[in-house]
Structure 1
Amino acid sequence: MSSEKIVAEKRTEFGKGAARRIRRENKIPAVVYGHGADPMHLTLPGHATMMALKNHGANALLELDIDGKTQLALTKQVQIDDVRRVIEHVDFVAVRAGEKVTVEVTVHVVGDAASGSMVVTDLNTLSLEAEATHVPETIEVDIEGLEIGTQILAGSVELPKGTTLLTDPEALVVNITEAKTIEEPADEAAEGETEESADAEATDAE
């Protein structure tokens, strides 16, 4: 997992008004927590930050340049405006190279199961422990050719080297079931046929 370098500015103004002014300048308010230090309130460049989060996913690792000093920061929460779909605020946790962190990593299902099957993803993320600088962006689960009735549990998912599963190993991740077809209920079909017959008889009588 590579880190993106971002130049950050310390900020001393807080509150909704200050945040709106920051966003009007195409910048993003952010805060970095961790390691027993006071939270660092920052302003990040809007476009560069947006691209870094887009390219590296929910657990993006940023290398923040703060007054000439570098701080590794792991993304923990991104607040997005529901209407405009722009980033409103980002929370980070300060990390060090080699440090273990707990993260939620998205499950990405690849491949096609057997014909006539339906793939149900029961868990969209897995909880893992990994080195801060080696957090996987996604966990791939290959279902190519799997037969109906196959169940993939968390404990059987192949994880990248250096990561430890924290999710219950018995938790169901992917379930391959039989695809159901929508059929017209027999009673409704028979009722429809009766109505058609009655209509036909009435026409003949006329």
Structure 2
Amino acid sequence: MSEKKTLEFEVYFRKPGSSLSRQLRKKQLIPAVVYGPGQKSMALSLDIRSVEKYAKKEYENKIFTFKSDEKDLNGLKVLKKDISYDKVTRNPLHIDFLSLDMAKAVRVNVEVHFTGKSKGVKESGGVFNIIRRNVEVECFPSEIPESFSIDISSLDINQNFHVSDLKVPENIKLITSPQASLCMVSEIAEEESKAEEADESAPASTGSAESASKGGKKEDSAAKK
């Protein structure tokens, strides 16, 4: 197996505790934890700038290597598992890492990309709906795919694609059910279609017609007086 190029996080051992975590954030450090099969859970911290840099979607499922003075952390290969953010500022607050054994399979979610424009949308005015944006797979860490892609060009009205329609390499095991739907093309709701037809067939009112109507009302009022 060819091993993927890894990226580095410089990390520091820390003592657990919420008060200590607040102190770390004031120093532009983010509290974190690493855990996994055969790995004791360890509290650590790392520079907020590195977290912000590698929090982007392009670094999902990338393998990172820890660089640390702590021997139990140094050289550890990990995946980003979860990042917690402040609800107001959207600054990262905490990050979870999953430690990896490169010789053992791991389960991850892989994003699905939809390419092309479906036949049902182009020719029949249907609506394309995405039902599932990722699938869970199991494989060795070095073989984690960046994404899966599926061409939706042939998809017609009331048709859908399932997980089984993805082209998955033999070395990748699908955990998500093959029968699970990925996307579909549906018809526009009948009520919505009728409303659009009614709008198109309704005569457009003009400013002069409105003026005439108002004038007529004034004359009627005068006659009554």
1:27-106 alignment, distance < 5 Å: 27-54=29-56, 56-67=58-69, 69-106=74-111
Partner amino acid, structure 1, of 2:20 = A
Alpha carbons of structure 1 residues 179 and 131: separation in structure 2 relative to 1, 3 Å: farther
What SS does the corresponding residue of 1:119 show, helix, strand or coil? strand
Which segments of 5 or more consecutive residues in structure 1 lack a partner in the other structure?
none
Alpha carbons of structure 1 residues 157 and 89: separation in structure 2 relative to 1, 3 Å: same
Paired residue for 2:171? 162
Alpha-carbon distance in 2 for matches of 1:124, 1:160:
19
Q: How far did 1:91 drift?
A: 0.8
Paired residue for 1:16? 18
Of all paired residues, the percent bearing the same amino acid is 23
Alpha-carbon distance in 2 for matches of 1:157, 1:46:
37
**Is the 8 Å Cα contact of residues 39 and 99 (structure 2) preserved in structure 1?**
no
**Is the 8 Å Cα contact of residues 155 and 165 (structure 1) preserved in structure 2?**
no
Which moves more between the two structures, 70-79 or 53-62?
Answer: 53-62
Partner amino acid, structure 2, of 1:104 = N
Q: How far did 1:203 drift?
A: 2.8
Normalized per residue, the structure richer in helix is 2
Q: Deviations over 1:42-98 (max 9, x none)?
A: 111211222123154443321111326300011211111121111111111110223
Tell me which structure has the larger Cα radius of gyration: 2
Alpha-carbon distance in 2 for matches of 1:81, 1:138:
28
Paired residue for 1:150? 159
Q: How far did 1:148 drift?
A: 2.3
Give the TM-score normalised by the residue count of structure 1. 0.82
The answer to whether structure 1 residue 3 and structure 2 residue 6 are counterparts is: yes
- After superposition, the CA RMSD in angstroms is 3.2
Normalized per residue, the structure richer in strand is 1
The answer to whether structure 1 residue 110 and structure 2 residue 112 are counterparts is: no
Which segments of 5 or more consecutive residues in structure 2 lack a partner in the other structure?
204-208, 221-225
Q: Deviations over 1:78-125 (max 9, x none)?
A: 111121111111111110223210112222222221212321111122
Give the TM-score normalised by the residue count of structure 2. 0.76
Q: How far did 1:160 drift?
A: 4.5
Alpha carbons of structure 1 residues 185 and 65: separation in structure 2 relative to 1, 3 Å: closer
